[in-house]
């Protein structure tokens, strides 16, 4: 790569409180390197200097909160987070159509916020494909097929060789 490495110093502290261990980790940037070009800037989380065996005073709070489910994946996130490119699925021109096709076939639906929800039809399809001995539902397998197929068209392979 043409940019310098990102360098940082990491520190971990393990606190023992009556046999219960609590761990905190912090990092301080030494050289931003390639991270200078990222749109999202990561803040350092620096820990105070502690010595091994040092006794410290802590403050405890009891919080009663409810956990929240993870947010739903939207169509934009699938495309922008590069889930499809990561597995070499489709081309930039066809990826948008793939997601639309999955929705049109009724495998997933979207709500007003564009969150995706799997439907019984999609779950059943995955379930039955998983029963086969070939990993049809594996993104890696589909990506490999996509790659072989694109090479086949460029290099004039016969489709029988692919199968």
HEC profile of the chain: CCCCCCEEEEEEEEEEECCEEEEEEEEEEEECHHHHHCCCCCCCECCCCCCCCCCCCCCCCCCCCCCCCCCCCEHHHHHHCCHHHHCCCCCCCCHHHHHHHHHHCCCEEECCCCEEEECHHHHHHHHHHHCCCCCCCCHHHHHHHHHHHHHHHHHCCCHHHHC
Both 154 and 86 in one domain: the answer is: yes
pTM of the model: 0.41
For the domain that residue 112 is a member of, what is the CATH number?
1.10.460.10
Looking at the domain assignment, is residue 152 inside a domain?
yes
Looking at the domain assignment, is residue 63 inside a domain?
no
Query: What's the structural domain count of the chain?
Result: 2
Q: Which domain, by its residues, includes 100?
A: 75-162
pLDDT tens series, the chain, 163 aa? 467 888 888 888 888 888 889 888 888 888 888 777 776 667 777 778 888 888 888 888 899 999 988 777 776 666 545 566 676 666 667 767 777 888 899 988 888 887 788 899 988 988 887 777 666 667 777 777 777 766 666 666 666 655 5
């Amino acid at each position: 790569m043409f940019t310098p490495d990102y360098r940082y110093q990491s520190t971990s502290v393990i606190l023992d409180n009556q046999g219960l261990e609590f761990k905190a980790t912090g990092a301080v940037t030494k050289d931003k390197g390639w991270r200078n070009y990222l749109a999202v800037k990561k803040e350092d989380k620096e820990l105070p200097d502690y010595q091994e065996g040092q006794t410290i005073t802590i403050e405890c709070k009891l919080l009663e909160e409810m956990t929240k489910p993870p947010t739903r994946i939207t169509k934009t996130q699938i495309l922008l987070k590069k889930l499809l490119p990561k597995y070499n699925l489709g081309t930039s021109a066809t990826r948008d159509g793939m997601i639309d096709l999955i929705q049109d076939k009724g495998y997933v639906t979207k709500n007003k916020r564009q969150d995706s929800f799997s439907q019984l039809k999609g779950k059943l399809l995955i379930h039955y494909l998983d029963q086969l001995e070939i990993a049809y539902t594996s993104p890696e397998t589909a990506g490999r097929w996509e790659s072989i197929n694109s090479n086949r068209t460029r290099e004039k392979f016969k489709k029988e060789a692919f199968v």
